[in-house]
Structure 1
Amino acid sequence: MTEQLLQRALVEEATKKSGLIWVRSGGPAAPQGHEVPTRALWHVWHDGAACLVGDGPGEQPLPGLADGGDAVVTVRSKDKGGRLVSWSAKVVELSPGSPEWEAAVGELKGKRLNAPDGEAMPERWARECRVLRLEPSGATAELSDGSLAAPPLPSPATTRQPIPAGLPRLLLKKKRKRRQG
C-alpha cells in the first residue's frame, strides 16, 4: 500500500512540474503494429490527471489517443531533462460543456501560449478540438537504460524559413564595427 502511494505521489509531482510529457498510445498490451509513435505533448495536471487539448487547427495532434483507450506517459525532470517516471494511463475524452470539460479547459486556457484567438479559445476548442484526460491507472513502468532518441515526427508546424537576403550583410557589419572599436 505504501509503495502504491509513493508511486502515485511521484507520478503526480513529476507530471505537475514538467511542461511536456511523452505519450504513446496503445499501452503495454497494444497489439503489434497498433502503436502510434511517442509524441511530446504540453499538458496541465488537473484533478488527478494530465489534461490535453488538440486535434484541431493550430493545436497539437493527438493521434491514437481514443476515449477508453490506454496510453503510456513518460515524464522528464524539469531541471535535468532526464526521464523520471513512466506510467500507464486510461484515456478519457471530455464532452464539451460538461463540468469536467469546463474545469479542464479553465486550467488549459491559462497554459496555452500564443493562442491566435485569446478569450475565444474555449469556444473554438468546443467546436474543433478534443480535450482529453490521461488518468493514471496505477502502474508505473521500468525505465530503460538505453536512449529513446528518435527523429522528430513530421508536423505542419515550423519556424524554419529562409534567412532574409540582407541578414549576412547586417551580421558582417556588426563584426567590422567590433574590430574597429
Structure 2
Amino acid sequence: MTTELVAEAIKKAGIAWVSADGGPAQGLWVLPLGGALIVLSGPGEQAAPGLAGAATAQVRLRGDTGGLILALDMAVERITPGGEVWSEVAPQLAAKRLNASGTVEEQVARWARTDCAVVRLTPADTEPVAAPHLPDDAGAAPVRETPARVEVRRPFRLHRVRKRR
C-alpha cells in the first residue's frame, strides 16, 4: 500500500474511530494538520478515555462515501500547554471547533486551565490495512450498559386506539 492513501485519508478526515489501550473504539472529531490528526478531549469536550496516556492508538478512517477505507496504528503524542507546538496547534483547533463558546483565545486558555488533552496522532511504522484486506464484519460492538438506559412504561391511554388499516 502506498503512503499516498494514508496521507489522503488523513487529510480528508473529519471524524475517526479511535481505540486506545485495547478499549472500545470511539467516534471522535479530529482536525487533520500536517499529516497528523489532532484530537481534543477533556472536561467540557469530547470524551476519549485512555487516549491522552496511551503510546499508540488504533484508528479507522472513512472515505468519501462514509465506508471504512483504512485501519492503521498511530503514535500518540500529548501536546502540553505553553509549548511552541501548543501555541501553533491550539489556536487552529479552536478556530475549527464548532459551537464553541467564547473567542479562540478564551477557548485555548480554558483548555490549558481545565487540563484538556490536545493529542497529535501520527501514522506509526506498521503496515496499514486497506482494501481488499479490510475486515468483512461491520465492526459493530454490542451496546454497553449505561445508567442512562431505563425501562420506559407504555403511555397511558384513556380510550382504545384503533389500528389503521
- TM-score by length of structure 1 reads 0.70
The aligned counterpart of 2:12 is: 17
The alpha-carbon deviation at position 151 of structure 1 amounts to 5.6
The alpha-carbon deviation at position 117 of structure 1 amounts to 2.4
Q: Does 1:48 align with 2:39?
A: no
Distance 2:86 2:32 in 1: 14
Other structure's SS at 2:125 match: strand
Q: Does 1:74 align with 2:69?
A: no
Distance 1:53 1:144 in 2: 28
- TM-score by length of structure 2 reads 0.76
Distance 2:94 2:45 in 1: 12
Aligned-pair Cα RMSD in Å: 2.2
Instruction: For 1:137-176, list aligned pairs within 5 A.
Output: 137-139=124-126, 140-141=128-129, 142-150=133-141
Q: Which has the higher helix share?
A: 1
- Unaligned stretches of 5+ residues in structure 1: 27-34, 156-181
Distance 1:20 1:138 in 2: 22
| Amino acid in the other structure paired with 2:136 | D
Other structure's SS at 1:43 match: strand
Work out whether residues 46 and 107 of structure 1, in 8 Å CA contact, stay in contact via their aligned partners in 2: no
Distance 1:154 1:96, change over 3 A: farther
| Amino acid in the other structure paired with 2:112 | A
Instruction: For 1:85-96, list aligned pairs within 5 A.
Output: 85-96=70-81
- Unaligned stretches of 5+ residues in structure 2: 147-165
| Amino acid in the other structure paired with 1:23 | V
The alpha-carbon deviation at position 103 of structure 1 amounts to 1.6
| Amino acid in the other structure paired with 2:108 | P
The alpha-carbon deviation at position 74 of structure 1 amounts to 0.3
The aligned counterpart of 1:130 is: 117
Quote the sequence identity (%): 36
Work out whether residues 21 and 41 of structure 1, in 8 Å CA contact, stay in contact via their aligned partners in 2: yes
Work out whether residues 11 and 35 of structure 2, in 8 Å CA contact, stay in contact via their aligned partners in 1: no
